[in-house]
Structure 1
Amino acid sequence: MADHSDKQMVPVIPSRIKYFPENRLSAINDGRLFLEIQVFQELIYALIDTGATKSYMGLRTLVVLTRNNIVPIHQEPDMVQLAEGSIIQTQGVYQIPVYLDNRPTEIYCQYIPTLSNDLILGLDFLQRHQIIIDTAQRKLLFPDQVIKLSVLEKPGLAGIRGLDEEQLQRLNNFIEEELQQFETSPGKTHAVEHKITLKPDAEPQKQRYYPRNPAMQKIINEEVDQMLKDGIIEPSSSPWSSPIVLVKKSSGKYRFCVDYRKVNQVTVPDGYPLPFIEGILSRLKEAHYISTLDLKAGYWQVPLNKASKPITAFTVPGRGLFQFKVLPF
């Protein structure tokens, strides 16, 4: 990485930080060298990169620091050029005190959300401490001391390899056998029950239904019949009512939805942060097998608590009022 800034940082060491003095240098299968550092109660793998002018950290290291109330010493963003030529923006500078073979020191890192490595130690760290790397012997050479670091046994980075003919046949046979046991209607989790939280001054929202032509109304009636059969909805006498919306899918079919915009205006939003995709992918970098499961109508697999059901009510012309028993789209 090449840095595009000449800014000087004034370090401030937080007095509450404690790092544990266990450091080991390891070679990953592709020949790169990593330094294993225990940060609080987490092991962080720091890539030794002489091609990086500064040191950088990824999402996992940020999570560890944030969990322990460590804030950036500098918020101003910086521009960094990656090895393949693209330029990205950093998000703050952090100071990480560490021990290297019982030697207290600190690392100044810029945070890059999309960085796949937990930590990259660049030339700034190596030059500041006048460290020489002996890659053959896996040693860090300080001016007044030679530190020999033990080798960490660590799996190589994940690769992609296709199935052979026998494995592919076994997989196909397994899928065909298991598909016969799959239910056509969505399941239901017993691990959680969703609650819709209303604002203190919230009043029931009642809207008129959207007029539909006979063809669209036929689709609505068919969807309602199926949802009643599957236990997704039930008849209601709620003071709430929201209009039905049919959303056309890429397949040409329609998805049954309800326009809850008015309801959303009187509910308390949930600020729980969704995880970064980059962070999830970074945690999978050592996996041998990665699978995905697509839940059928995933929202409908989460039940609603009793008080929330009336809030989801919707009108079906000529048939009355219904409410969801599960989380609606």
Structure 2
Amino acid sequence: PDVFPDELPGIPPVRDVEFNIELIPGSEPISKAPYHMVPIELKELKDQLQELLEQGFIRPSVSPWGAPVLFVKKKDGSMRLCIDYRELNKITIRNRYPLPRIDDLFDQLQGDMHFSKIDLRSGYHQLRVKEQDISKTAFRTRYGHYEFLVMPFGLTNAPAVFMDLMNRIFHEFLDKFVIVFIDDILVFSKSKEEHEDHLRTVLQTLR
């Protein structure tokens, strides 16, 4: 149950990798007015903000930064809260940590017959934002001004930083029986017995 929780248990532990936002020198804080929302979106906004506050992922902010928010409809009809960080991303220095090539990943699977895919629930929220960069994640809403303590979706360097964390965690198993692409883990093995051992190892590592 501690590997497959219904909800994440709050703010993640301090890790070697933290999310930082390095700006192009001379950049000034950017703040945008909240976007218009219809009543159904405002209700959803209030609910999701409350949930994020209860989980400890966001806190009220007095930051000079402030991005607007919007909703994107997911395949299942539910609404994903998205922060529009485009203006912040324009002045952020890119992290060039390499993402793996898909064809390289598939090359690892030759001859393997047993596969399991693990999708990390709210993977980005398992990484803390560096204390000095928390204010840059601030966003403005009809219901107040907030900032993230954990890595939010929508920031330009988020995939690279998360990939770095996953590669560190699974370093000794990569390309032996594990391949990782951002927050998806694929476990591959030649036999059922071997696969059970590999899965056990991966789940133990994720603890």
Q: Cα offset for 1:263? A: 0.4
Question: How many Å separate the matches in 2 of 1:281 and 1:231?
Answer: 38
Question: How many Å separate the matches in 2 of 1:281 and 1:186?
Answer: 31
Paired residues, number: 150
Paired letter, 2:24: K
User: What is the 5 A alignment of 1:278-317?
Assistant: 278-287=103-112, 289-317=114-142
TM-score w.r.t. length of structure 1:
0.43
Paired letter, 2:120: L
Paired letter, 2:148: F
Paired letter, 1:265: K
Question: How many Å separate the matches in 1 of 2:119 and 2:26?
Answer: 38
The secondary structure found in structure 1 opposite 2:40 is: helix
Match of 1:236 in 2: 61
CA contact (8 A) 1:186 1:298 kept: no
Match of 1:96 in 2: none
Match of 2:72 in 1: 247
Match of 2:5 in 1: 183
Match of 2:150 in 1: 326
Paired letter, 1:324: F
Paired letter, 2:109: L
User: What is the 5 A alignment of 1:216-227?
Assistant: 216-227=41-52
Q: Cα offset for 1:181? A: 7.0
CA contact (8 A) 1:210 1:244 kept: yes
The secondary structure found in structure 1 opposite 2:51 is: helix
Q: Cα offset for 1:320? A: 1.9
Question: How many Å separate the matches in 1 of 2:85 and 2:17?
Answer: 22
Paired letter, 1:183: P
Question: How many Å separate the matches in 1 of 2:6 and 2:16?
Answer: 21
Deviations 1:82-131 (A, max 9, x none): xxxxxxxxxxxxxxxxxxxxxxxxxxxxxxxxxxxxxxxxxxxxxxxxxx
Question: How many Å separate the matches in 2 of 1:263 and 1:257?
Answer: 14
Question: How many Å separate the matches in 2 of 1:254 and 1:297?
Answer: 15
Match of 1:154 in 2: none
Match of 2:96 in 1: 271
Q: Cα offset for 1:182? A: 3.1
Q: Cα offset for 1:286? A: 4.6
Task: Give ranges in structure 2 of 5+ residues lacking alignment.
Answer: 154-207
Question: How many Å separate the matches in 1 of 2:3 and 2:87?
Answer: 40
Deviations 1:276-313 (A, max 9, x none): 11111212325453321101111111111111111110
Task: Give ranges in structure 1 of 5+ residues lacking alignment.
Answer: 1-177
Between 1 and 2, higher relative CO (CA 8 Å, sep ≥ 6) is seen in 2
Question: How many Å separate the matches in 2 of 1:261 and 1:290?
Answer: 37
Paired letter, 2:78: K
TM-score w.r.t. length of structure 2:
0.67
Question: How many Å separate the matches in 1 of 2:123 and 2:3?
Answer: 18
The secondary structure found in structure 2 opposite 1:291 is: strand
* Greater Rg by CA: 1
Higher helix share: 2
Deviations 1:33-66 (A, max 9, x none): xxxxxxxxxxxxxxxxxxxxxxxxxxxxxxxxxx
Q: Cα offset for 1:208? A: 0.3
Higher strand share: 1
Q: Cα offset for 1:232? A: 1.0
The secondary structure found in structure 2 opposite 1:293 is: strand
Q: Kindly report the root-mean-square deviation, in angstroms, between the aligned alpha carbons of the 2 structures.
A: 1.8
